C-alpha cells in the first residue's frame, strides 16, 4: 500500500505540481532598507508579501486593479508550455533531439508573457499598484524555464554525449585537471588579478532621482540576480547616509537576458586585454571589442534617462563602465612600456648578488613555515 502511494507520488504530475507550488511560494524580490535607527525588510512572492514594518503576515498579495483569479489565469497560461514540454520529454527516445522543442517552448512562453503584460498595460494604462506582482511574475518565468526546460534539455544532452563508462573517466580527468589548476594558481596570480579587475559587477554608477543623488552598484549576474545598492543623499551628507538599500530581484527577465550578452562580452573583453598585455593579439581587436561592450552599457544608461524624462520612472542610472576604464588603462600602460623600450634600450647591470642568490617565492616560504610549524606541533 505504502509502496503504491510512494510510486504515485514519484510519478509525473505530483512531482511537477510540487515543483510548481514551490515556485509559486518562493519570494522573488527581497528588499532591505537601512534608515537611521531602523531597518525595513520586504519580501514579495507571487501570492504573498511580507513587510517587516507592518504587523503580522500578509498571506495574500495585495492586488489592486487585477483580481486574484486573473492573476492565477496568467500563471496558468505562462506555465502551460513548460508543462507540455516536460510531458513530451517523457515520451521522447534518448536519441531524439529536444533542442527545437525547448527553443519553441521558450519562445511561446515569452510571447504569452508579453501578451499578458501588454494587455494589462493597455487596459489599466500602467502597472498601477500591482507592480510587485509583475516583478514576481518575471522571476517566476525565468526560474520556471530554467527548471522545466533548460535543465532537462542540458541533462539529456550530457547523458546522450557521454556514456556512463566514459563519464567516470571524464570525472577522473576533471579531478586531475582541478588539482593541476590548484597547483598552477599561485603562478598566475597576476593574470587572475587582471581578470578580477576586468570582470567586476559591470555597472557602478551615479543614481540620480528627484530627491537627490546616490552611489549605486548594479549587477544582473547571468540573468538570475540583480544586486542593487544605493546610498541616498550621499553628496549632501557623506558621513551619515540618509538611506541605504539592498535589493535582490530573482530572475529579472527583461534586463537579465540583456545582461547575459553583456556578461559574455565583458568576459571576452577581459580575455582579449589579457592577451594584448601578453603580446598575442593586436590593439585594434581589443579596442573593437571594448567599443562593442560600450554600446549596450550606453544604451542602458540612455534608456534609463529617457524613461525618467518621460515620467515613467523617478530615477535615472548613469553607468560607469569600470572594466573598460581599467582595460584602457592596461592597454595604454603596455603601449607606454613598448614605446619606452623602442626609444632607448636601457642596459641593466646585473648585481653580483643576483647570480649567487636565489629568490624564493613567497608562497613557497609560507608553505615551508607552515610545514615546520606543523612538524613542531606534532613532535
DSSP structure class, residue 226 = E
Number of residues located near other proteins, criterion CB under 8 A = 15
Applying CB under 8 A, does 348 fall inside the site for other proteins?
A: no
Query: Does residue 355 bind other proteins (CB under 8 A)?
Result: yes
- Assess 358 for contact with other proteins (CB under 8 A): yes
Which residue, 338 or 362, has its beta carbon nearer to other proteins? 362
163 touches other proteins (CB under 8 A): no
Contacts of residue 185, defined as CB under 8 A and 6 or more positions apart, other chains included, come to: 192
CB 250 within 8 A of CB 29: yes
Length of the chain: 379
Interface stretch with other proteins, choices 15-23, 32-40, 292-300, 350-358 (CB under 8 A): 350-358
- DSSP-derived 3-state class of residue 338: helix
Q: Is residue 172 involved in binding other proteins (CB under 8 A)? A: no
Q: What end-to-end distance do the CA atoms of the chain give, in Å?
A: 62
356 counts as binding other proteins under rule CB under 8 A? yes
Burial of 147 (0-12, 13-18, 19+ CB in 10 A): middle
**H/E element, 217:** strand 212-218
CA-to-CA distance for 254 and 127, rounded, in angstroms? 15
Nearer to other proteins, 349 or 355 (CB): 355
Residue 213, beta-bridge partner list: 208
Nearer Cβ to other proteins, position 7 or 355?
A: 355
Least distance CB 375 / other proteins (angstroms): 9
Distance of CA 280 to the CA centre of its chain: 30
- Please select the residue that binds other proteins; options are 359, 376, 377, 378, rule is CB under 8 A: 359
Q: Which stretch binds other proteins (CB under 8 A): 93-101, 254-262, 308-316, 360-368?
A: 360-368
CB of 354 to other proteins, least distance (A): 9
**Residue 362 in the binding site for other proteins (CB under 8 A):** yes
Minimum CB–partner distance for residue 355 and other proteins (Å): 7
How does DSSP assign 68-102, residue by residue? HHHHHHHHHHHHHHHHHHHHHHHHS-TTS--HHHH
- Binding other proteins (rule: CB under 8 A), the pick from 58, 211, 299, 364 is 364
Does residue number 179 form part of the binding site for other proteins (CB under 8 A)? Answer: no
Please give the biggest Cα pair distance in the chain. 89
Nearer to other proteins, 158 or 368 (CB): 368
The dihedral built from the CA positions of residue 133, 139, 140 and 142, taken in this order, carries a sign that is: positive
Shorter beta-carbon distance to other proteins: residue 264 or 364 = 364
Q: For the purposes of burial, counting CB atoms within 10 Å of the CB of 82, is it exposed (0-12), middle (13-18) or buried (19 or more)?
A: buried
Asked if 173 contacts 291 with a C-beta cutoff of 8 angstroms, the reply is no
Stretch that binds other proteins, among 68-76, 79-87, 253-261, 362-370 (CB under 8 A): 362-370
**What's the closest the beta carbon of residue 282 comes to other proteins, in angstroms?**
17
Here the cell at position 157 is 544532452
Give the interface with other proteins as residue ranges (CB under 8 A): 353, 355-362, 364-365, 368-369, 371-372
Amino acid at each position: 500500500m505504502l509502496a503504491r502511494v510512494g510510486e504515485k507520488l514519484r510519478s509525473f504530475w505530483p512531482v511537477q505540481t510540487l515543483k510548481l507550488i514551490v515556485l509559486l511560494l518562493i519570494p522573488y524580490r527581497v528588499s532591505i532598507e537601512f534608515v537611521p535607527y531602523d531597518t525595513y525588510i520586504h519580501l514579495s512572492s507571487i501570492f504573498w508579501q511580507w513587510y517587516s514594518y507592518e504587523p503580522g503576515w500578509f498571506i495574500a498579495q495585495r492586488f489592486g486593479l487585477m483580481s486574484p483569479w486573473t492573476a492565477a489565469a496568467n500563471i496558468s497560461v505562462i506555465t502551460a508550455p513548460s508543462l507540455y514540454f516536460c510531458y513530451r520529454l517523457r515520451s521522447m527516445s534518448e536519441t531524439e533531439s529536444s533542442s527545437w522543442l525547448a527553443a519553441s517552448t521558450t519562445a511561446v512562453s515569452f510571447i504569452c508573457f508579453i501578451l499578458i503584460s501588454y494587455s494589462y498595460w493597455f487596459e489599466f494604462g500602467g502597472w498601477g499598484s500591482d507592480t510587485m506582482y509583475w516583478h514576481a511574475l518575471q522571476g517566476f518565468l525565468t526560474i520556471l524555464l530554467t527548471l522545466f526546460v533548460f535543465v532537462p534539455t542540458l541533462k539529456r544532452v550530457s547523458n546522450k554525449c557521454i556514456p556512463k563508462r566514459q563519464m567516470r573517466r571524464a570525472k577522473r580527468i576533471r579531478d586531475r585537471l582541478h588539482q593541476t589548476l590548484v597547483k598552477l594558481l599561485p603562478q598566475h596570480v597576476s593574470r587572475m588579478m587582471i581578470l578580477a579587475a576586468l570582470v567586476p559587477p559591470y555597472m557602478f554608477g551615479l543614481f540620480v532621482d528627484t530627491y537627490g543623488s546616490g552611489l549605486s552598484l548594479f549587477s544582473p549576474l547571468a540573468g538570475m540576480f540583480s544586486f542593487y545598492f544605493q546610498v541616498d543623499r550621499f553628496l549632501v551628507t557623506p558621513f551619515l547616509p540618509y538611506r541605504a538599500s539592498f535589493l535582490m530581484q530573482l530572475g529579472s527577465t527583461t534586463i537579465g537576458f540583456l545582461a547575459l550578452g553583456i556578461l559574455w562580452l565583458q568576459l571576452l573583453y577581459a580575455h582579449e586585454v589579457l592577451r594584448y598585455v601578453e603580446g598575442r593579439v593586436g590593439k585594434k581587436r581589443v579596442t573593437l571589442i571594448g567599443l562593442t561592450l560600450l554600446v549596450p552599457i550606453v544604451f542602458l544608461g540612455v534608456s534609463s534617462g529617457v524613461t525618467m524624462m518621460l515620467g515613467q520612472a523617478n530615477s535615472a542610472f548613469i553607468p560607469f563602465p569600470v572594466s573598460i576604464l581599467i582595460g584602457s588603462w592596461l592597454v595604454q600602460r603596455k603601449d607606454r612600456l613598448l614605446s619606452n623600450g623602442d626609444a632607448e634600450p636601457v642596459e641593466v647591470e646585473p648585481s653580483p648578488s643576483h647570480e649567487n642568490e636565489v629568490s624564493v617565492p613567497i608562497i613557497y616560504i609560507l608553505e615551508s613555515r607552515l610545514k615546520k610549524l606543523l612538524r613542531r606541533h606534532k613532535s
